[in-house]
Amino acid sequence: MDITRRDLTVAGLGAMAAGSLATPAMAAEGLVADLPEGLDEFALAVEAYIYAYPLVTMEMTRRVITNVAEAEGSRGPMGHLIKLRQYPDAKFRDVTAPNADTLYTTAFFDVGDEPWVVSLPDMKDRYALFPMLDGWTTVFDVPGKRTTGTDAQTFVVTGPGWEGKLPEGVTQYKSPTSIVWLLGRIYCTGTPEDYAEVHKLQDEVKLYPLSAWGKDWAPPEGKVDPSIDMKTAVREQVNNMDAIEYFTLFAELLKRNPPTDADAPMVAKLAELGIVPGQDFDKTKFDPAFVKRVPQLGFARIMMHFKFSDGDVQDIDGWGFTTKTGIYGTNYMQRALVTAIGLGANRPQDAIYPTSLKSDSGLIKRAYNGSEKYVLTFKKGLTPPVSGFWSLTMYDADYFFVDNPLNRYSISARQPLKANPDGSIDLLIQHESPGADKESNWLPAPKGKFILMMRLYWPNESNPSIIDGSWTIPPVKRVS
C-alpha cells in the first residue's frame, strides 16, 4: 500500500469543512502546499497511520471493555467471560455496528505468557460460531457450526512462538498475537423462552489458563484504571489522538503483537518514522508539523475507501458489500475500513454485511432520512439464501442503534412477517408507525439520517448466492 500525492489530495477533499468559502480544489491545493518540506514523509506517515489503525483500535477497545472489576453487561476484566443476556440497546457505544441477532459470549485474554483453554458445550444443532481475532483484527480461527459442528468441544489457544505440550484430545489454535478477542455468537430469537435456553449454553462455556487445567479456577477480580475514558466511543478516542500519542502506543503494542512476515516491506518503511518492532517510538524521527494532520488525513483516507475501494467493496443496487473481511493479508486499507465501521467482522464464509447509505429511487440517490418512507421488497421465495440466518439492521449515521418505541433494531424472519397477496414480502423502513396491522414488517428509523445493514450469516456459496452474484439484495425504494 503506497499513499500517493493523489491519495492525499482526495483525502484532503473529504476532510475539508463543508462550509469552506474556498472551492474544494483550492482547499486541497492549500493543504498540500501548506505542508513543510517532505511531502513524501507525510505520505509515509499517513500510510503508517492506516496500517496501525486496527491494532490501536483493538487495544483501545480492549481497554474500555476490560476496565471493570467484574463481568457485567457488555464489559468484563481480562480473562473473564462476558455473557450478554439480551440484545444491546440504543445506549450501547462499545463497538460500532453492534449485532441484534445473537447473544454474545466474549472475552479478551492474553496468550503472550501462556495458552488459554476454551470449552464449548453441546449446542444441540443451534447456530453458533466462536471466531477468534488477533490484535490486528484477523480472524485466525472459527470454531462453530459451519466448521467444527455443534457438539461439545475443547481447544487451546497458544500465542506467538509458544512451544510446549498440550493435554490429549484438545485442538490447538495458534494466535499470531498476544491479544486475543473471543467473539462468540449464539443465535437467539429474542423471546423469553429462547433467552433462557441460550443463557444455559452461555453458562456452560468455560475459559481458563492452561496452568489451571484440571483444577478449580476462578478469574481474579479486575483492576480498574480511572484514567481510561469509559464514556467516549472507542473510535472517537482513537481518532482524537495526535500522531505522537498514536504511534507511541502503536510501537508499544508491537512488542507483544508482532507484524506478519508478509508485512516486512511495511516494517521497513516504519523504521523511517522511528517505529521499530520491539522498540519504543523514536519521536525525534517524526516531523512535529505532521502531528495533527496525519490523523485527520489518515482517517479521511480510510473512510473514503468505502467509496473508492478498487474493487474491495462492491456496489449493487445501492448495497455496498465486501467478501474481503476477517482475513486481509497486506490489504491494509481494507482492514482499516472494516475496523472503523465493523470491528469484529467475520470471514465471508461466515457472514457478509451489505450496507446501504442511500435509496435507489430516482435519478439522484439521496441519503436515507427519517422524514421519508422506504420499502425493501423480496419477491416470493427470494429472501436471503443462507444456512444460518439473515437480518436487516437500522443504524444512525455513526453506526449505532436507533432508539425507537418498539426497541426493534433489526428485522428478520424471526418477526412474523406478513406476505403480500402475491407472496412477496415488504420491509417498511420509516420513522412513523405504518399502523398496527403492518408493524410486524416495520423497521423504525430515526428522524434524521440513517444507515441500513443486511447480515447474511453462513451465506450460500452457490446458486442462489450473494457470493457468486446469482442472488442480489433488492434496492430500497423511496415511497414518499
- Percent of the chain topping pLDDT 70: 91
Whether residue 29 is predicted with pLDDT greater than 50 in this model: the reply is: no
What's residue 23's pLDDT? 34
Strand positions, DSSP E, 72-178 = 82-83, 102-110, 116-120, 128-129, 132-134, 139-141, 153-158, 171-174
Q: Which residues contact 79 (CB under 8 A, 6 or more apart)?
A: 107, 108, 109, 110, 116, 207, 208, 209, 219, 220
- Compute the distance between CA of residue 76 and CA of residue 82 in angstroms, rounded to an integer: 6
- Cα 101 from chain centroid (whole Å): 15
Least confident residue range of 33-42, 91-100, 172-181, 381-390: 33-42
pTM summary value: 0.86
State pLDDT tens for residues 285-339.
Answer: 999 999 999 999 999 999 999 888 988 999 899 998 999 999 999 999 999 999 9
Q: How far apart are CA 301 and CA 8, in angstroms?
A: 8
pLDDT at 33 over 60: no
Asked whether residue 153 carries a pLDDT value surpassing 50, the answer given is yes
pLDDT at site 9: 44
Residues in Cβ contact with 397 at an 8 Å cutoff, skipping those fewer than 6 apart:
448, 449, 450, 451
Encode pLDDT of 337-389 as tens digits. 999 988 999 999 999 999 999 987 666 788 999 999 999 999 999 999 999 99
Paired with 457 in beta bridges are: 351, 389
Distance CA 408, CA 194 (A): 17
Average pLDDT over residues 249-262: 98
CB 411 within 8 A of CB 391: yes
Residue type, 401: F
State mean pLDDT over 193-220: 97
Is the C-alpha dihedral spanning 443, 446, 448, 453 positive or negative? Answer: negative
Mean residue pLDDT of the chain comes to 91
Does 217 score more than 50 pLDDT? Answer: yes
How far is residue 304 CA from its own chain's centroid? 17
Residues 6 or more apart from 31 whose CB is under 8 A from it?
8, 9, 12, 15, 16, 293
User: CA-CA distance, 181 to 257, in Å (whole number)?
Assistant: 13
pLDDT the model gives residue 22: 31
- Report pLDDT digits (tens) over 410-440: 999 988 999 999 999 999 999 999 999 999 9
User: What pLDDT is attached to residue 345?
Assistant: 92
- pLDDT the model gives residue 169: 87
In percent, the amount of the chain with pLDDT more than 90 equals 80
* Domains of the chain (ranges, CATH numbers): 5-60+234-304 (1.10.3360.10), 68-212 (2.60.40.1610), 321-478 (2.60.120.600)
Reply yes or no on whether the pLDDT at 185 is more than 90.
Answer: yes
Cβ neighbours of residue 98 closer than 8 Å, sequence gap 6 or more: 88, 92, 400, 401
Q: Which residues contact 434 (CB under 8 A, 6 or more apart)?
A: 428, 441, 442
| CB-CB contact of 131 with 346 (8 Å) | yes
Residue 82 clears pLDDT 50, i.e. is over it: yes
Q: Which residues contact 328 (CB under 8 A, 6 or more apart)?
A: 137, 138, 334, 335, 338
Based on its alpha-carbon atoms, the radius of gyration of the chain, rounded to whole angstroms, reads: 23
135's CB contacts (< 8 A; 6+ apart) are: 54, 55, 58, 59, 177, 178, 179, 253, 257
Give the pLDDT score at 247.
Answer: 98
Query: 70-76 long-range CB contacts below 8 Å, 24 or more apart?
Result: 70/221, 70/222, 74/104, 76/107, 76/222
Judged against a pLDDT cut of 50, whether residue 273 lies above it is answered with yes
Tell me the pLDDT band of 171, cut-offs 50, 70 and 90: very high
Looking at residue 2, what DSSP letter applies?
-
pLDDT at 21 over 90: no
**Which pLDDT tens digit goes with each residue over 433-462?**
999 999 999 999 999 999 999 999 999 999
Q: How far apart are CA 237 and CA 57, in angstroms?
A: 9
User: Could you tell me if 427 and 474 are in contact, meaning their C-beta atoms sit under 8 angstroms apart?
Assistant: no
pLDDT of 17 > 70? The answer is no
Average pLDDT over residues 104-123: 97
CA atoms within 13 A on the CB side of 428: 19
